[in-house]
Every structure is written in structure tokens, then in C-alpha cells.
């Protein structure tokens, strides 16, 4: 391990700077102090019960801007699957803070199509969910949902276009397991909420009692 660190010095998951002795969770001291934490803003949650969403509540660890945006881009497009473990550390704190009074039966993840999985080589949301399951001791229900068709990229679409783009593309594959259960749905980024909404709608229609959402980042506070 020491030899590997000499050949490939460990870098901060967020800014990409070289890590120093004592840096924890693959994050440098500067980033730990300055990352755009949602909890720090006091606005890290969306109450689904007072909105048009079907999920009960949605929370995020970070605001989707700066180094967080860069990091998630590398995670999804540059093969940096190891980032999932670091994101999980921050998600754990977020979930404990906002959902400490909720008893979850399962963690489920927003799915991707087989075609996209084959192209990328890994399912980034599943990776986060598997790490999170071990951290918070909530079982991960693998394959709970499937995405039945390819869709246009969400980036650049309006809220209404995003919703239309995802309408009916998610199906529940394990309805018996989720019947009457309280679920924690995991995704990487919450933008307009279209993905979380469509997944939640499908899960509730299949018999889930309640669906809560947690994501690594959200764009909702990015301009603040």
C-alpha cells in the first residue's frame, strides 16, 4: 500500500489536490472546511408532503456546485468509482441528521438501463447504496427497480421536459418485498426532482408505505 501511494499519490475526491497525512475520508482539510454542505445552509431538505411530490421528504449532503460538481462528473464519467465510499460518509451524517427518527426497511436505488450500465461499466447509484447500507445498517434491496427504456439526457431540459422524459420508465421488480415498507431511495443528484418523483410514484404504486429520498447533492441551492 505504501508503494502504491508513492506511485499513485492519493488525491482529494473533491479538489483533486494531494492528500496529506491525517486527511480523512479522502478529503483534504481545505475542502472539509469549505465544501457547500446543505446542513450548514439549514436548507438541505424538501418536504414532499407540502409539495406536489409523492415522496415524503428529500435531503442532500451537498449543494451541487464548485468542487462537488467536478467530483460527481469524474465519478460518473471518468471511472472514479472509489468516490462512492467517500460520498457515503457524508450521506451518512446527512441521513442521521434529517432521518434520525425514521425506521427504514430497505435502501433502494434509482436504476439505469442495461445499455448505459454496459457503457459505463458500473452503476454509480448502486455503489453508493451498497456502501451506505453497510454504514447505516439498513439492508440494500438490489434490483428493486428497473429502468425499462433509454431516455434523453436530463441535462438541459426544463422541469416539465424532465418529467415527461421520465414518465413511465421505471418499474418495480420486487413488489412483494417492498409491500408496506418504508424505503430510502438513493440517487446522485437532485435537480428538479423528476427522477426521485417517478421512482417514488412507481414504488408507492407497487405497495410501499412511504418513500424518503437522499442524494449526494442538489442543485436547488446552487445559486445561493
Co-location of 97 and 118 in the same domain: yes
pLDDT the model gives residue 222: 59
Looking at the fold, whether 73 and 21 belong to one and the same domain comes out as no
* 49 and 30 in a common domain: no
pLDDT 10s digits, 80-115: 999 999 999 999 999 999 999 999 999 999 999 888
Domain total in the chain: 2
Give the predicted TM-score (pTM) of the model: 0.88
Residues 158 and 180 in one domain: yes
Same domain flag for 25 and 62: no
Does residue 25 sit in the same domain as residue 79? no
On whether residue 115 sits in a domain, the answer given is yes
| Domain shared by 182 and 154, yes or no | yes
User: Is there a contact between 125 and 165 (Cβ–Cβ < 8 Å)?
Assistant: no
Residue 223 falls inside a structural domain: no
- Per-residue pLDDT tens digits for 140-150: 999 999 988 76
Domain assignment present for 224:
no
Blockwise average pLDDT, block size 10, the chain, 224 residues:
54 94 86 91 65 90 96 95 96 95 97 88 96 97 88 54 60 96 97 91 95 94 56
Q: Which domain holds residue 24?
A: 1-34
Q: Does one domain contain both 28 and 80?
A: no
**What are the residues whose beta carbons fall under 8 Å from the beta carbon of 114, sequence distance 6 or more?**
none
Per-residue confidence (pLDDT) for residue 43, from 0 to 100: 58
What's the confidence (pLDDT) of residue 3? 42
pLDDT of amino acid 41:
61
Asked if 148 and 61 sit in the same domain, the reply is yes
Amino acid at each position: 500500500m505504501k508503494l502504491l501511494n508513492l506511485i499513485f499519490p492519493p488525491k482529494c475526491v473533491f479538489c483533486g489536490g494531494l492528500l496529506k497525512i491525517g486527511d480523512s475520508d479522502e478529503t483534504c482539510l481545505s475542502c472539509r472546511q469549505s465544501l457547500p454542505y446543505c446542513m450548514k445552509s439549514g436548507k438541505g431538505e424538501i418536504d414532499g408532503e407540502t409539495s406536489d411530490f409523492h415522496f415524503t421528504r428529500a435531503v442532500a449532503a451537498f449543494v451541487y456546485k464548485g468542487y462537488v460538481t467536478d467530483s460527481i462528473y469524474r465519478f460518473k464519467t471518468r471511472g472514479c468509482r472509489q468516490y462512492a465510499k467517500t460520498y457515503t460518509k457524508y450521506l451518512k451524517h446527512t441521513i442521521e441528521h434529517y432521518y434520525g427518527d425514521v425506521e427504514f426497511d430497505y435502501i433502494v436505488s434509482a436504476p439505469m438501463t442495461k445499455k448505459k450500465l454496459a457503457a459505463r461499466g458500473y452503476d454509480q447509484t448502486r455503489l453508493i447504496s451498497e456502501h451506505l447500507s453497510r454504514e447505516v445498517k439498513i439492508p440494500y434491496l438490489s434490483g428493486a427497480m428497473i429502468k425499462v427504456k433509454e431516455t434523453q439526457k436530463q441535462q438541459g431540459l426544463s422541469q416539465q421536459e424532465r418529467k415527461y422524459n421520465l414518465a413511465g420508465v421505471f418499474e418495480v421488480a420486487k413488489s412483494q418485498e417492498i409491500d408496506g415498507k418504508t424505503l430510502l431511495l438513493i440517487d446522485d443528484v437532485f435537480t428538479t426532482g423528476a427522477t426521485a418523483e417517478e421512482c417514488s410514484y412507481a414504488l408507492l404504486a407497487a405497495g410501499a408505505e412511504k418513500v424518503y429520498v437522499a442524494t449526494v447533492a442538489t442543485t436547488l441551492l446552487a445559486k445561493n
